[in-house]
Structure 1
Amino acid sequence: MEIFNDETLEDLQTGGLYLIQKKAGFRFGADAVLLADFAKDIVSNKTLDLCTGSAVIPILLSAKTKTEQFFGLEIQKSVFDTAMRSVRLNSLENRIFLTCEDLKNAVSIYGKRQFDLITCNPPYIEKNSGLQNPSDEKVIARHEVLCTLEDVINVSSLMLKQKGHLALVHKPSRLIDIICYMRSADLEPKRIRFIHKTVDSEPSLVLVDATFKGGKELRIMPPLYIYNKDGSETNQIREVYGR
């Protein structure tokens, strides 16, 4: 498959998989890789990735799990087109099925109670917080321009099967919002893991796993540190990346 001059081909370091990305577009980061690792042990026959972007999460999970079918929703057409090329590049057309659509229309596309697992790496920055260009691809990926955290959680509560899981990654500053929105949507947080850049730093990310109509029992997992004090990668993050 041809890789254009404005693109790069990223080695995902898992299962011989690669990802096409635009040089100037929004590019996946450690948060997506961490979410895929966090979700890999959740048993699922049918998984939906909201705000799928480059489809990096379903592509990674295709190598890390035995899930039969992955679905992804991406609202930006240019991002969707590139993601489709990555799916074809990895010969995953029979396992990963992407749709270019607003996630708020997910129920009309798939129907209710269809998924064992929903993953999401949503925009982190709240609406009207330093927004510059609402049509810019990077801004849409980072700011709540076209969907909000509450949209993601409410849609997930309609799409999940009984005891199905929602796994997402976000900023720790939004954790109270996440828990409040989840509980109001019958999603009960089950696992929380904080991600720190170093052992001395405050967490920069939080991973949350909730179940639809699950019992009230929350586990705070050991924190994950990305860098040692000397700047080298920790064994924890090297294991996540398979290095």
Structure 2
Amino acid sequence: MTKPILKNKERIDQLFSTDVKIIQNKDVFSYSVDSVLLSRFPKFPSKGLVVDLCSGNGAVGLFASTRTKAKIVEIELQERLADMGQRSIELNQLQDQVSMIEDNLNNLLAYVPRSGVDLILCNPPYFKTSKSSKKNLSPYYLLARHEITTNLEEICAVSQQALKSNGRLALVHRPDRFMEIIETLKKYKLAPKRIQFVYPKQNKEANMLLIEAIKDGSLDGLKILPPLVIHKDNGEYTDEVFAIYFGKETGPRAYMYVLECADGSLYTGYTTDLKKRLKTHNAGKGAKYTKGRLPVKLLYWESFNHKNAAMKAEKHFKQKTRAEKLAYIKDKTDTAI
């Protein structure tokens, strides 16, 4: 299955540092930066068994599939989210490695051997429930974000039962629950080993933390990693986060470019060689669209350190109206040719 049927309001998104595609629906569930960071944080076993608790639409486990050859079991209580995850598994043709289970995580041992799991990943509900809780109107997000069907205590208890001795639990959570997280981990003989605080911008308070614990491990040797900042002051990703989303620079720079055709229309593409690509277009070999609208001239370009970033910029630019495209180019005249 390479093209699953999308349901109402669904779309397919991709983490551009990988080939993995995820079925999303903003009204039901969409992964965010916390899922991406969690899938890149822990030390992955080269083989064995990995479990993704509270898996939502399966993003964490699917992203993790690029970092290990281990079998990955995802478990999600909500039928709608589990269905999205299953179709994403099929979309990526990962059925031999990744499986989705629709069930309560308290039943995990019905699907995996006790003390048989090498790594557990969990992006859990962050918020305790109370009468004053700020609850999302969507029932899907309500269950995903608030401790209604599970909580930190249950997650640690299940992890303690399922993990091998020296197996690892990796969580992404809220800094305001840091002390509770540490105490709960210790209660279930899960020794915290690596912690990283995540900040939306410099000089802002941390709004996430990543933590990795080892079952039956020593309480000595805890490492506090350098802080991870998500955005620069101008709103762009920091270099570290950009590399997570788009991959490190592995080859020549890439470009999103805009051509003005002979009939005045605009064409957008990406390339790693602007001069060669322009010559190819004017030779009638660049694209079917430009072939009948020659000659073309280079109107604008942007440079990126990875082709996937250029492809994303191309995609976003194509979604603009002609007026929006021209306004965008005008605003960026200092970088245009």
Q: What is the TM-score with the length of structure 1 in the denominator?
A: 0.94
Residue 131 of structure 1, CA deviation: 6.0
Aligned with 1:164 (options 145, 163, 167): 167
Aligned with 1:120 (options 115, 118, 122): 122
Total equivalences in the alignment: 241
Flag the 1:134–1:144 CA change in 2: closer, same or farther, 3 A.
farther
- Secondary structure (helix, strand or coil) at the match of 1:10 reads strand
Aligned with 1:59 (options 59, 62, 74): 62
Q: Please name the residue that 2:186 is paired with.
A: 183
- Secondary structure (helix, strand or coil) at the match of 1:164 reads strand
Residue 135 of structure 1, CA deviation: 8.1
Residue 53 of structure 1, CA deviation: 0.7
Task: State the alpha-carbon separation in 2 of the partners of residues 26 and 3 from structure 1.
Answer: 14
RMSD between superposed Cα atoms in Å: 1.6
CA contact (8 A) 1:17 1:90 kept: yes
Instruction: Answer yes or no: is 1:69 the counterpart of 2:71.
Output: yes
AA aligned opposite 1:150: E
Q: Please name the residue that 1:36 is paired with.
A: 39
Of 232-241 and 156-165, more deviation after overlay is shown by 232-241
Identity rate, percent: 32
Instruction: Answer yes or no: is 1:226 the counterpart of 2:233.
Output: no
Q: Please name the residue that 2:239 is paired with.
A: 235
- Greater Rg by CA: 2
- Secondary structure (helix, strand or coil) at the match of 1:13 reads coil
- Secondary structure (helix, strand or coil) at the match of 2:231 reads coil
Unmatched segments (≥5 aa) in structure 2: 248-337
CA contact (8 A) 1:124 1:144 kept: yes
Residue 4 of structure 1, CA deviation: 3.0
Task: State the alpha-carbon separation in 1 of the partners of residues 29 and 168 from structure 2.
Answer: 27
Unmatched segments (≥5 aa) in structure 1: none
Superimposed CA distance per residue, residues 206-231 of structure 1 (whole angstroms, 9 cap, x where no aligned partner): 00000001112200000000111232
Q: What is the TM-score with the length of structure 2 in the denominator?
A: 0.69
Relative contact order higher in (CA < 8 Å, ≥ 6 apart): 1
Task: State the alpha-carbon separation in 2 of the partners of residues 140 and 134 from structure 1.
Answer: 11
- Secondary structure (helix, strand or coil) at the match of 1:54 reads coil
CA contact (8 A) 1:14 1:60 kept: no
Task: State the alpha-carbon separation in 2 of the partners of residues 108 and 181 from structure 1.
Answer: 24
Instruction: Answer yes or no: is 1:140 the counterpart of 2:134.
Output: no
